[in-house]
Amino acid sequence: MKNIRLIIFDFDGTLGDTRRNILLTMRQTMEELSLPVADDEACAATIGLPLRDCFVQLYPDISDEMADQCAATYRRIFDINKKRFVPALFPHVRTTLQQLHAQGFKLTVASSRSSASLREFLSDMDVIDYISFILGADDVRHAKPDPEPVLLTLSACGVPAAEALVVGDMPVDILMGARAGAKTCGVTYGNASADDLRAAGADVLIDDFAELLSLV
């Protein structure tokens, strides 16, 4: 992977350790709307999907109206929880981003979180200066695992797919990158298992974010 110039990162489970906030907020949303409370494993399996789609996956028979209500309720509760339980970067993320940026790599984020939320988290976590392009769920018509987020990033940065690496913790990240023609790297410390990432076709797996430095 020595020809990589652009690295496209997922956020939740890859850069930011938001699992506790996400699972807590999902559980509270279900309780408030009197829905059967799904277990943590089932909820974690939806991380990376657009918010509305998370609830559709958990409740296949849910109405469109209820799915929209779930998403709105989740957003309201999450805004409260993120102030009570402040998410943190995973180990070595800040120093690794700093070194990659200094070495001339283009660093971007493509997430199913809203672009405003991404900018807020990246700013609060003091890494936004290393990120040259941010793409959220509200910036695309087709979310992960569709390749659109990667294709839009490639176009915006003027970099061909062959020189791009997508880094994420969920199978949807790997599928998104591969379908766009980019190389893919799965991180094993996030919300999916190494076996799930391999099954999705990840080109390489890393157990520590700092391993990116030797990878590219």
Positions marked active-site: 10, 12
Encoding tokens for residue 198? 């391999």
Pairing verdict, β 88-89 and 16-17: antiparallel
Encoding tokens for residue 88? 């943190």
- Cα separation values, 150 from 7, 40, 53, 193, Å: 10, 29, 19, 23
State the number of CA atoms in the 13 A half-sphere of 96 facing the CB.
18
CB 12 within 8 Å of CB 18: yes
- Phi/psi for 107 (5° steps) reads -115, 130
